[in-house]
Each structure stands twice: as structure tokens, then as C-alpha cells.
Amino acid sequence: MFVFGYGSLLWNPNFSYELAIPGVVMGYSRRFWQLSPDHRGTPDSPGRVVSLVPDTEVEFYPINGSEPFSLNVYISPISQDNIYNSGPCDISVIVKQIIRSRGCSGSNLEYALRLADCQRRMAPNIFDEHLFQIESKLLEECEYLQHDDSILEKLKYNLPYLADKKGKRKRNESTKEFKQMLRYEDLLRDYNVLERPVENHSHPVTVHLKVSLQQLIDVDEKNQIVHVNAWLDYLWNDYKLRWDPNEYGNISDVRFPAGKIWKPDVLLVGYNSVDPNFDSTYPTNMIVYSNGDISWVPPGIFKISCKIEIKWFPFDEQRCFFKFGSWTYSGFYLDLQPAKGGFDTSEYLSNGEWALPMTTVARSEKFYDCCPKEPYPDLTFYLHMRRRTLYYGFNLIMPCLLTTMMSLLGFTLPPEAGEKITLLCYLPLSFPRRRSGSLRLNSFQL
């Protein structure tokens, strides 16, 4: 019985065998398209291992001209719907992922280089273009980053910087590992700011959004506009921006200016947005963590349209909202989800006129006429506001009651008293004068 191996089974079979014959599977080729969240990576930073994928252009004849023969073998190619199937991917992306990944079976770099070394020793007449291209790019990246991995010395790769590091080890026996500072250009090499950070382009980028309300600045009842000071707390993951802190001086996070890396085009959308600038947030730095998580918290002052109902003034309650959604990405490409504690008021500065008894957030999907088959998700943040009545009680209600009572008391004065006419003439004049400062200029409900 023959066992067909194409990955770590070649250099680590874990069983005895009598004969090893180099060969290829007709109609299939080997590609680093399978993610490894365990042996050569972690769930947060999966590595890359090879899988068999259909390929009709595989060269079936060895380059030394020897006579081929056929064998029937069982193979297990990766399926298209496998969650660990990344599909076709740029060589540069694969190389960066292999360099930084490590799992329970060792570094991903060891896996790739041992596979290339084993291929070269066991089947020197069969050229695997994809594998050897990966090996070449990995060595270039190791040279550029001065990557320190014992497998490079074990396989006798002749890289100049390895000799320098070996000399440093001899001069400093107490140092087990040499760290290097993380350079921004290392992370941004071959990075395309326009490309969504997904390994499989058929999958959406999941973006979590939380609004941290800071202040209710103003409620313009005449123009039906509410001014809000809030922080938008975004969180998503970019698999291209991951690294091992142990290899970079224990640096676990870095800052990037807005515009240097991909960010979601989430804006205040809907008819209730009245800000002419559309995006009224300040372009703050983005915090990138070693596992690829990106935190972006831009502050902003938002102007939203809100229908103010004054029927029960000054005992009225208002319900306003502001809606955020992607401007160009449908739900197939960007999945907008509320973060934990989606509407945070822990840092809210209380307003003197309006109380905020409740805030809620809701997610919905909308289908537009331009693209009826594409859902566009949005998050709606609701403000439930209740007017504080203490001020109006002392400055409007009580004076009106006193004016009314004094008007009634005026009728108890004798008819011949001249003060009666003066009192009853001036009391009604004070009512509109006092109330004019508290009028709500709104005709929606009276």
C-alpha cells in the first residue's frame, strides 16, 4: 500500500516505510491556500499549510526524462466550502503570514522551509514552482527583517546576517533571543490600503461599532436639530497586520495615522443627517494590536434632524436617533455589528434641560433600488430624552398660577376702588411677557 504525502508527512512521517517514490497527482497541484489555526498558527493568527487544488496545467513528466508509471492513491483535496480554505492569494500575503505564525507544532517558517528542503532532496527532478517561489520570498523576507529562527541554521541557509547573530550569541551568553524593533514599513510592505482585509474575498469584514455619548450639546427646537458630542468606537481585524511580539522587542501595539491602512467607510446616513460635511469626525490615529485587531475611536460633533413634539410641553419626552452605515459596501463585503455596550453613556455629561433615561441601539438591513439583491446593514442609536421640568415649574407654571390667582382676587376688591382697574389691566400683560421667553417655536403639535 502506498501513502501519498505532500505536506509535513514528507519530512515527518511518524511511521516506518520500505520505499519512497516521488510523484505527482494528475490534475492537482500543491498550494499554500489552507489556513492552520492549531499546528502552525493560532485561531487569532492562523498559519499556512499546503493543500491539493485542481490544476489542469500540472507537468506530469519528470524533467530528467525517466519513464513515468501510474499508481492509484487516495487523496483528500480541500473543498471550496471549507472554512480554512483561503483560496487564491498573493504570494506576498502568504509569505508575511508564514513569517509571523507559530503553533503547537512549531513555527510556520519551519514547515515551509523543511517542505522545500525535503522536495529538493527526495524529488530533485520534479520542480514545484509555487513551493520554491514561496521559499525564495521567505528567505528574502528573513534577510530584510533579520528574522531569527533556528531552522535557518539547521537547514544551512547561507544568510549573511545569521553569522553576525551567531557571533553576538557567543559574546553574550545570557541573551537567548535577539529582539528587533518593529518598523512600520515591515507591516506596510505590499500593503494595499484599498483592499479589504479578508483572506477569502467572498467573506465580509466584520466591523463592530459602539457610540460613547459624551454630551448633549443643544436641542434646537425651532430648526428641529440636535447637536451631539460622541466618540465612535470601531473594532475590526486585519490579518495582514499581525506579528509576534516576542520577535519585535515585546511590542504589542502600534499607531497608524488614518489613511495609512484600510478603514471602513461608515458614515452618518439617512435623512436625519444634516451635517454638510457628512463625516464630522476627527481623523485620529488607529491602534493596531499584534493579533491584527484594530481599534479606531474618532470623536465628533454630530448634527441630526429630530422631530420635536411639544404637545405636552414642558412635560414632553423626545425620541431622536442617528444612523450609521457603510456608504459603498453592502453586507456581502462589510458586516456592521453593534459592539458590546453598543450605546455607552458611562462618560456622559448630564444636560441641564434634558434627562437621558434610556439609550438603545438596533441593527437593520435595507435594500436600495439600485441594488435590490444586496443588503446594506446599518446601526441606529436612539436617544430617549425627557425634559427637566424644575426650571419651567419655577419660571413658567408657578408665575402663571400666581397671576391667575391674583386676577381672581382682584374681583374681591370693591367696585369703587381705583386699584382694581389698574391691577386687572396689568396682570394679563405680564402673562405673555413672562411666557414669551419660554415659547417653543413649533407648529407640528399644539
pLDDT tens digit sequence for 60-107: 555 556 677 777 777 778 888 888 998 888 899 999 999 889 999 989
Do both 416 and 370 map to the same domain?
A: no
Q: How confident is the model at residue 176 (pLDDT cuts 50, 70, 90)?
A: very low
Residue 121 in domain? yes
Bridge partner residues of 361 (DSSP): 381
Do both 277 and 348 map to the same domain?
A: yes
List the end-to-end C-alpha distance of the chain, in Å, as a whole number. Answer: 90
pLDDT of residue 37: 92
pLDDT of residue 351: 81
Q: What is the pTM of this model?
A: 0.57
Residue 50 in domain? yes
pLDDT of residue 28: 86
Do both 91 and 36 map to the same domain?
A: yes
Per the model's pLDDT, the better-predicted residue between 181 and 134 turns out to be: 134
Bridge partner residues of 213 (DSSP): 230
Contact 396, 387 (CB under 8 A): no
Give the percent of the chain with pLDDT over 90: 27
Nearest to 76 by CA among 37, 50, 100, 105: 50
pLDDT tens digit sequence for 412-427: 777 777 777 777 777 6
**Dihedral, 216, 220, 221, 223 alpha carbons, nearest 10:** -140
Do both 268 and 149 map to the same domain?
A: no
Which of these three, 121, 146, 171, is where a domain ends?
171
Do both 139 and 258 map to the same domain?
A: no
Bridge partner residues of 343 (DSSP): 211
User: Which residue range is the domain that position 408 belongs to?
Assistant: 391-438
Contact 229, 281 (CB under 8 A): no
Q: Which H, E and C letters describe 263-293, residue by residue?
A: CCCEEEECCCECCCCCCCECCCCEEEECCCE
